[in-house]
Amino acid sequence: MKFTLSWLKEHLDTEASLTAILEGLTKVGLEVEGVEDPAEKLGAFRIARVLSAAPHPQADKLQILSVDPGEGEPLQIVCGAPNARAGLIGVLGQPGDYVPGLDVTLKI
């Protein structure tokens, strides 16, 4: 059976750590087969802000965005989203990042 830590804490009415809960379950005879952290798979993705958007000189349906990735220099990204505009905040995935659930690795 799989369930979330938040669900378990709600039904146990506890604020104990994951380690303490796992030890308690084992002590009462409930074997824990594994613990998964779905957020771990998204570690490469980050929140980014679009600084500017300009039309692509060679394609009507594309824009060239200047994007602040949160650390380091702004990135220049070609984007086909019609709603991309300065001030937009979104999730940034870069070439080489793995997208769980879709089983896709981003590439250029």
Q: Does domain 42-105 have CATH number 2.40.50.140?
A: yes
Average pLDDT of the residues of the chain: 92
Using DSSP, state whether 68 is helix, strand or coil: strand
Q: Report, as an integer, the average pLDDT of 42-46.
A: 92
Backbone Cα Rg of the chain = 21
The pTM (predicted TM-score) of the whole model is 0.68
| Confidence at residue 3, expressed as pLDDT on a 0 to 100 scale | 86
Structural domain boundaries of the chain?
5-36, 42-105
Cβ count near 23 (within 10 Å): 12
* Whole-number pLDDT of residue 49: 98
Could you tell me the pLDDT band of residue 101, with boundaries at 50, 70 and 90? confident
Q: Model confidence over 71-90: pLDDT tens digits? A: 999 999 999 999 999 999 99
